[in-house]
């Protein structure tokens, strides 16, 4: 069974530091997504990618950078972490076949910015 892996699972950092959250999937899915989940807001889309070297902004992209040099990896970087970026981050991937419009999520990274 294929999988989607996020690392680290937990991260504590300080305001102003750069942090990179990793996401790796073994399905070779074209689409990958980053969401954040905060109490009272549910999951919100940060960035997504349709293929290697193709990325697009979501609902809350400010303060984040993504890259996708390989299909299987989609790292999310907080260039200068702020307390408001304390959240749980979920990565997801998706097939592109019509009728297979299903997203598969990682276990999440819990980030605390002090």
Partner 1 sequence: DAKTTQPNSMESNEEEPVHLPCNHSTISGTDYIHWYRQLPSQGPEYVIHGLTSNVNNRMASLAIAEDRKSSTLILHRATLRDAAVYYCILRPPRHSGNTPLVFGKGTRLSVIA
Q: Rule CB under 8 A: which residues touch partner 1?
A: 30-31, 33, 35, 42-45, 48, 50, 58, 90, 92, 94-108
Closer by beta carbon to partner 1, 48 or else 64: 48
Nearer to partner 1, 81 or 108 (CB): 108
3-class secondary structure, 83: helix
Q: How far is the CB of 30 from partner 1 (least distance, A)?
A: 8
Query: In terms of CB distance, is 85 or 89 closer to partner 1?
Result: 89
| Separation CA 64–CA 81 (nearest Å) | 9
* Pairing of the two strands 64-66 and 109-113: unpaired
Compute the least distance from the CB of residue 16 to partner 1, in Å. Answer: 28
Distance CA(5)–CA(15), nearest Å, equals: 26
Write down how long the chain is: 114
């Amino acid at each position: 069974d294929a999988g989607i892996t996020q690392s680290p699972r937990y991260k504590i950092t300080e305001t102003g530091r750069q942090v990179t959250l990793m996401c790796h999937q073994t399905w070779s899915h074209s689409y990958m997504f980053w969401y954040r989940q905060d109490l009272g807001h549910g999951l919100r889309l940060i960035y997504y990618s349709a293929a290697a070297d193709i990325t697009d902004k979501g609902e809350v992209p400010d303060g984040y950078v993504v890259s996708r040099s390989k299909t299987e990896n989609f790292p999310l970087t907080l260039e200068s972490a702020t307390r408001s970026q304390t959240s749980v981050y979920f990565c997801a991937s998706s097939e592109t076949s019509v009728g297979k419009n299903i997203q598969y999520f990682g276990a999440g990274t819990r980030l605390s910015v002090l």
